[in-house]
A and B are shown apart, each in its own frame.
Chain A
Amino acid sequence: MEKLTNRAAPVNRDPITFGEKIYLPAIAKGLSITIGHIFKKKATVSYPEEKRPFSPVFRGLHILNRDEEGRERCTACGLCAVACPAEAITMEAAERKPGEEHLYREEKYAAKYEINMLRCIFCGYCEEACPKDAIYLSETIMPTNYTRASFIYKKEDLLIPDPKNKEAK
């Protein structure tokens, strides 16, 4: 029969020698490897006390950005939602009224903005699609919770605090 690869090695079927029969050299060899590992550097970290540094491209929880004057940057253009492969983002837009110029950067803004974190796969496409520098993925790990409802993140949960007015939400 034609061989599939040339890597096949014949099995050694010689009867085992006296040295191999007493097994002690093999046990000593194995123990030396085990003991050797005790003195080597550990591959794990004890997680909650000790944390590994994040990769510079780590993608965590989303934030909605504000501009220097504290106005919301998002204009509800829908590009994040259309780019989202998991269809996690939904929004509803509204028109800015006179007198709301200090709240919203543009004529149109997102009145409602929601990310369903149960759907989100943290691919970062929304950040890439955003033409207004409004959505970013931060270095925060998504917190866990007991209820599904707490994973629907609304605009108030995503917006960063106003730089001018820290206590106001």
Chain B
Amino acid sequence: MTKAPNPSGESAFNRSAARQLALFGVAIVVGLVGLMWGLNLLASLTATAGGVPPAVDVANNAITVMLTEEPPQLDSTRSTDQVSGIVLGHVMEGLLRYDDRGELAPGMAEAWRIDEGGATFHLRADARWSDGQPVTAHDFVFAWRLGLDPENASEYAFILYPIKNAEAINQGELPVTELGARALDARTLEVEFERPIAFFDKLTAFSTYFPVREDFYRATEGRFGADADQLLYNGPFALSNWVHGQSLRLDRNPHYWDQARIRLDRINVGYITSDPNTRLNLFKDEKIVMTGLTAENLTNALEQRWHIHRHMDGSVFYLDFNHREGRLTRNLNLRKAMILAQDPGELVYKVTKTPGYLPGESLFPRFLEGVQGKFRDEHPAPTYPMDLQAARAHLEAARRELGLEAFPPLVLLAGDNPVSNIQTEYFQAVFKKNLGLDIKIDRQIFKQRLAKMTSGDFDLVLAGWGPDYNDPLTYGDLYASWNLNNRGRYSNPEYDRQVRIAQGAMDAQTRVAAFAEMQRIIHEDVVIIPNYERGVAYVTHPRVKGILRRVVGADTDYTYAWIEP
């Protein structure tokens, strides 16, 4: 320390000032403590008091879980996203449901009969809403009419189209009362089909088919499903509290018919965050019973010696080409060159690095059933093994066909999430290295990406598709020329013909043959470049058993879970 020039003046002054500051500091600390108690009081007004219980609460027979996002709303006739699907899967039940082995099981309906022309469902006598009133056939008719009512503008209305007149009603050509679904009496529901359909039973487990009670719906005055008290429940659990953005509390529904299968009394959704590291930390701190693992924190999970599980969620991811008139990617040789110049195995094993991901081979994922076994076992997907010489030959052919000197850069449209960032950068490098093709990455926020996909403002787009129902058609009709989700506007009369066969036939043999034909066309025409089938690695609390991951329906499903004593 340098010697102060004026010992009696300067440093005495500093000492005093330092003392002042120290006093000031103490005052700050005291003030802060006071402030925090005040805030605590304030916070208890805006949140569930007392904070969040631990992962496993044996005293209350409850578990705590987290969601990646806030459910936008819980109106089953309009819900579209996975998170709402999880919550609805716990608090609602359709005519049929999926059991703990993933098989269809009776739900609100105790018996049913389906044939070519229609179906009849017999509702169980003890099917009740959470206010104790019975669930009736009228509730289903009302919900389905609501789903199709053009005024309601449900995005999932199309899934009701197998019912007679549904499409016409949704287009505003017929009144909703013309719908081919009638309540013969309170417990008998009769459905007329537009055309024969082979998988209507599977559809009835989907959330758009869930019942809604008319008098309750009217009483909510447009806020149906917006809060815990704006919804009526008929599932194993009922929402008793919903603090938006923060927590939901699901309590056992005492009016649910199948009490025997419910072993938990309460499920707390304690946290809502999309940050994977936060979820990992919460799990590490024993605050939640399950979390998914990203490739980045696998090593950490191994160090912790956690029991890691894997699950294929049935989503397929691929590079979609733009097949519109005037686009370079309309050229088959260019598409062949590109698919031959890449190896989905390299993408999966070296870039995404998550166990459970499988290299993409087909639009139809492996879980789908064929005639006797799995569809993909009966009809193995043809693939293009990486072959750079052939790829370059195709590229040269494409260049000549298109009359180009050199290829201009192709635009690869992608979303803004981290996984797609890695993939776009990978593909950019791969096509540059192997074909000399320049790829421009067009990273867009969600709505702008969708707008560009709809208007066709791209050459390639990173896309993915998950199943709505457990039938290959949920993937197969994607490339029908009339399907609006066919963002690249691929159009092939032969493909359309096969889709119509699969839609109308009742016979498994015919349908599976049609799907095999679709798989072949997609391969030969290089409609897409399959990237991978998604899998998830996840960890669960050692004391909580029976947590189900599903391909269709609520993924994750805690309705069968229990706490091991």
A and B assemble together: no
**Interface residues, chain A, with chain B CB atoms under 8 Å away:** none
Which residues in B have some Cβ–Cβ distance to A below 8 Å?
none
